[in-house]
Amino acid sequence: MKISPLAPQTFPELKPIDGVRLGTAACEIRYKNRTDLLIVEFSEDTCVAGVFTKSLTASASVHACRDALKSGKASALVINSGNSNAFTGKAGDESVKRIRDAAAKKFNCNAENVFTASTGVIGEKLPDEKITKALPDISLSENEWDAAARAIMTTDTYSKSATKTANIGGVQVTINGIAKGSGMIAPDMATMLVFIFTDAKIPVVKLQQMLEQANEDSFNSITVDGDTSTSDTLLVFATGKAGNTDGDLSDFNRALHEVLHDLALQIVKDGEGAEKLVTIKVSGAESKNAAKIIAMSIANSPLVKTALAASDANWGRIVMAVGKAGQKADRDKLCISIGGVIVAHNGSAAPDYDESKIQGHMTGRDIKIDVDVGVGSASATVYTCDLTHAYIDINGSYRT
């Protein structure tokens, strides 16, 4: 597949994280002539926090990770692409156990502290013997960040990574993140795997709290197609090797938010067939939750998204999406702006609205839609993309 036109022009150089070593392999789980397995080893006393899909048909790996998360400790991570190990019954659970046991043997650790993740086709038995056979021979390095990001891709057209530094008590700490995601993207969370690594020493309870909030403002605020995956996994691993002592975590929290927000936008920009990034801000709502529901109603509307793909400023479809959201909105106070130009307000088209004024904006790559629903003071912002024929082409041939 050709690389998305919204792909970043350059990718950041991720520096080593003390206490993290990575390795990749090509196991041909589904894909030929590419890597499809990533393993990560963590130093002793690494803590972990995580959030997962809310799907009622969650994968075997998700269930295992939820259980493993209770200890707050991590020794290793094993991720495969090409097969999600979802809806595979007891066979899926047994596959996870074999993978964890093999990783525990390689890393000389407790299998309960091995985290796994899988992404790809749903409903097919995972050929875990390919993974367990490859594990012993995979070499590890502190510098394999780009290779790691590529190994977890499925329909992604480019690898996704981000990095930031922060200060805790006068000590500089680093946060590196990699992600995969392209289609089946919608809260909660999105069809995505995201792994964040830091050398900071963070109490696991605080790490979990910060992660949940950062996730709400990033991955839970994006959508490509309105479909929630069985496999969504977001994990943060903190090795504590930076040497910081407990202190003010506000700068770390800022950096964590920035890394997650960066990766979330990269996922939307790689939406299957995407040609445009769309930012939708809803204000004047009764509550933040109501604003988000309305914004998601707009963002997930096929009619809105196909109009955007055609550069058609059909704001009537936005009115429709607001009305169907089921949240309070005052029809006669509704105000809609596209690219900063008011197109409708006070219950009708703006008297001086001239569609030619926003045509240049509509044909661009970065579309801004602002909607004030006129009932309160709360707001929310979500991110989506247009819906092109390429989405059908990609998903219609996904298994072939």
Q: Exactly one of 35, 191, 198, 388 is catalytic; name it.
A: 191
Question: Looking at this protein, which amino acid is placed at residue 271?
Answer: G
Whether 191 is a known active-site residue: answer: yes
Q: Give, in degrees to the nearest 5, the angle at Cα 159 between 157 and 163.
A: 150
Residues 6+ apart with CB under 8 A from 351: none
Query: Helix, strand, or coil here: 176?
Result: strand
Has this prediction a pTM greater than 0.85? yes
Q: Cα dist. 272→84, 253, 345 in Å?
A: 18, 31, 33
Q: Where are the alpha helices (DSSP H) in the chain?
A: 60-69, 89-107, 128-134, 145-151, 204-217, 250-269, 288-299, 302-309, 316-324, 356-362, 389-396
Distance CA 245, CA 174 (A): 15
Selected from 3.30.420.40, 3.10.20.340, 3.30.360.10, 3.90.650.10, the CATH number assigned to the domain covering 277-396 reads 3.10.20.340
Q: What value does the CA radius of gyration of the chain take, rounded to a whole number of Å?
A: 22
Domain positions in the chain: 20-269, 277-396
Helices and strands: H and E segment counts in the chain: 11, 15
Report the CATH architecture of 20-269: 4-Layer Sandwich (3.60)
What is the full per-residue pLDDT of the chain (400 aa) written as tens digits? 688 888 888 889 999 999 999 999 999 999 889 999 999 999 999 999 999 988 788 899 999 999 999 999 999 999 999 999 998 999 999 999 999 999 999 999 999 999 999 998 889 999 999 999 999 999 999 999 999 999 999 888 999 999 999 999 999 999 999 999 865 444 443 457 999 999 999 999 999 999 999 999 899 898 876 655 677 899 999 999 999 987 899 999 999 999 999 999 999 898 777 899 999 999 999 999 999 999 999 999 999 999 999 999 999 999 999 999 999 999 999 999 999 999 999 989 999 889 999 999 999 999 999 999 999 999 999 999 988 887 777 666 655 5
